[in-house]
Amino acid sequence: MLDNLGEGVLKPDIYDPAINPLYRDLLQNYGVVAMPCRVRDPDRKGKVESGVGHAQKTPLKGIRFDRDLAEAQSYLDHWEERWADTRIHGTTKRLVAAMFAEEKPTLRPLPLEPFRFYQYGARRVHLDGCVEVEAAYYSVPPGHIGCEVPVQWNDLYVRILHPRTGQLLREHLRQQRGRRRIVEADRSPHTAPSVLRLLARALKVGERTGALCAALHAQQGDLAARHIQGTLSFLPKYGAARLEQACATALDLQVPEYRFVRRYLEREAQPPVSLRQVDPLIRQLTLYRDLIAIRTQEEPSE
């Protein structure tokens, strides 16, 4: 459905199943068919609009619920049982409860699982074969490194789709920040050329830096690419000498980890603070010169 919103501009209706895939999936999940109405034309769906107004003017008029939604739901359930279901419908002139009893056998049961509402985004597949969603990392099947893939996520799942066909590639359980979710089939038996280049760069920095990055790769495989890049990112800020010292300490203590190197550099290898030549507590030298001159003139000559 297209809705003409003025000035000759046509915009797609978000509730059209042919245009909005999320709405189409919602209808399929509950096994129902949509009956679209014209946008901003409430007369086309009077039954729906009148029901909203009836609830606002009858049970909810002048009522406030200061506790929570459970209190409001309990009040509405009691109102529906005692009043709404026992009234005579204005159009059909029949008891509402009796009409529902006739229709109830034809109703289908609700799905066991509620419909999943996802957030949508695009993520680039990193050198370790993972995508990042809210600071957690999820594996993608081999062959997608460097590609941008569509991602869907909610509180329970992360879904990774094919960039061209939209086919589901992987569905992962959500992880905490900093954690990884790796499918064993996504681990490549061969070292990626990009990871080999990172290891070569680390060796050029220094022997100890190269050894630490090699240890990271030995422990995690290509998944260590992110930590190797993080280790090399310290080079512009701290220099090769300080990075070599941090990596050497990590290897000597048998903790070849990126986090140890980062904390060591942040706490132990801070560059020395230069002495300030100008400070509000330090008076200008000219004041001392003038004071000495005045005191010298005041002293009596012998």
Query: What one-letter code names the amino acid at 47?
Result: K
Beta partners for residue 157, in sequence order? 173
pLDDT at residue 44, as a whole number: 77
Above 50 in pLDDT, residue 222?
Answer: yes
User: 237 or 68: which carries more pLDDT confidence?
Assistant: 237
- The residues pairing with 152 across neighbouring beta strands, listed in sequence order, are 120, 159
Write down the mean pLDDT value for the chain.
81
pLDDT at position 12 is 43
The distance between the two most distant Cα atoms of the chain, rounded to a whole number of Å, is 128
Q: How far apart are CA 180 and CA 130, in angstroms?
A: 9
Local confidence band at 9 (pLDDT 50, 70, 90 cut-offs)? very low
- Helix 207-220 / helix 225-232 crossing angle, nearest 10 deg: 160
| The pLDDT value given to residue 191 | 67
How much is the average pLDDT of 202-228?
A: 86
pLDDT at res. 172? 93
Which carries the bigger pLDDT value, residue 48 or residue 300? 48
pLDDT value at 5 more than 50:
no
User: Domains (ranges, CATH) in the chain?
Assistant: 1-40 (no CATH), 45-107 (no CATH), 119-186 (2.40.50), 193-267 (no CATH)
Q: What is the mean pLDDT of residues 255-274?
A: 76
CB of 134 closer than 8 Å to CB of 177: yes
